[in-house]
Amino acid sequence: MMYARLMNILRAPVLTEKSSIVADSNNCIVFKVLPDATKYEIKQAVETIFKVKVASVRTLNVLGKKRRSAHGMGVRSDWKKAYVTLAEGEKLNFGSMAADKESN
């Protein structure tokens, strides 16, 4: 698999109240990913970038909301979300990563 593709698959972590609850209870991290990414590619990307072992990946497509503005109706972009469950004993904490960046 091409290394450049793996680096572009993960767009951003989804840091919401629901994702933090899932992370605490199921050892699961939520990412915004490329719409054409497969579960295998997402697993490879997380294992390569964060050096952790992935147990499973669940994906879902989020449809963009319809919005009204002064210029008429519009639609936000569709996007794909991935729930990545880490293997037993593995841990990944974005809060500590952000604290490390701020201290440098």
- Give the span between the Cα atoms of 47 and 51, in whole angstroms: 5
Chain centroid to CA 10: 6
Q: Quick one: pLDDT at residue 100?
A: 46
Q: Which residues pair with 61 in a beta bridge?
A: 80
Amino acid occupying residue 18:
K
* Domains by residue range for the chain, with CATH: 3-103 (3.30.70.330)
**Mind listing the pLDDT tens digit for each residue in 84-96?**
999 998 887 665 5
Q: Quick one: pLDDT at residue 1?
A: 57
The tokens describing 49, both together, are: 């970038």
Chain centroid to CA 23: 12
Q: Is residue 22's pLDDT more than 50?
A: yes
> Taking the model in full, what pTM does it have?
0.82
